[in-house]
Amino acid sequence: LLGQFYLLFCFIWMATEQDVQDEWAALEAQQDAGITPFASQQAESCKDDEDLDFDEALRALQQSNWKSVRSKVTQIQQPPKSLIKKMAKPTKLFKAPPKLESQALKDEAEFLMCLTKMTLDHENEIHRRMLLTIYRKLTGDTSRVPTTGSHWEKLGFQGNNPGTDLRSAGLFALLQCLCLVTKHPSTMKTMWETARSPLHEFPYTLCSINFTTMALEVFKEHKLNKAIVKSGSVIVSLNDFYLVTFFKFHNLWRSAPSRTISEWDTTRRELREVIRTHSHRHCKLVQEESENVTKAKSTAQTKSAEEPQFSSF
């Protein structure tokens, strides 16, 4: 009888050991492919298959616990006092930018700055859906993919985890990229085709994040305040600035002589210098775009507002 119990015990132990070895081999195979276990499980969520548009994502983030990162936000200083009062004959040259006086704009600005401090959470359904929507819109691939892995490098991320690249601008960088792919699909398609072409290849999502960072820099310098007051929205004006900047880069990248991926850093610095040197003209284009969108909404001409034209470029 003891011999039978011993044989039974050995059989159970061997079976258990084999199961552990199989599970460990499967785990190693996932890691070799750049897939983490939690990301693999997340891809099974039925909600992850549903695209998330910009407005829906914005509402969800506004309803989230975004104030939890408020302590990480550096308070934006008010614009300097105008020199007009010190001059006998004031001119527009010395006029200080308008302040964001309304409480609604102040609250929206605070929400925006908190978004820049929020990191990508792979276990958060809204974060995942934002990321996966961008992937599907750009690639046209509707199959389930994990939120980490080598496939994200094809979009222009620098590694297997998109969250690593988002650290400079937080979730707001992801939100602006989502805005482009869902609200301006024709413009997105043109830029994506350029990014993927052998002649004009560039890292699409890395560029997108950089343009979000540029928009935030200009916002902190109060250079967008006039456009914000005009449009009545901080995020709308920053989205317009982001789109104008992306479009300007696209034209600069494709202009003769054509540029290659090795010239990305040089082109980025050149674009940043152009924006900072001619910020007034650049912001004026943003203001005009905001006014066009506002007019289109008021007259229900949604078709004309769908895609930016940026004829000034």
Give the separation between CA 192 and CA 156, rounded to whole angstroms.
10
The enclosing H or E element of 241 equals helix 234-254
If you count them, how many residues does the chain have? 313
Window from 80-84, 246-250, 270-274, 306-310 with minimum mean pLDDT: 306-310
Window from 168-172, 174-178, 269-273 with minimum mean pLDDT: 269-273
Greater pLDDT, 296 or 48: 48
178-232 confidence digits (pLDDT tens): 999 999 999 899 999 999 988 888 999 999 999 999 999 989 989 889 889 988 9
Locate tokens 């043109």: which residue? 190
Residue 87 confidence (pLDDT) above 60:
no
Give the separation between CA 199 and CA 124, rounded to whole angstroms.
38
Question: Quick one: pLDDT at residue 115?
Answer: 96
Residue 33 confidence (pLDDT) above 70:
no
114-154 confidence digits (pLDDT tens): 999 999 999 999 999 999 999 999 999 988 899 999 999 99
Give the separation between CA 16 and CA 192, rounded to whole angstroms.
50
Q: What is the DSSP letter of 202?
A: -
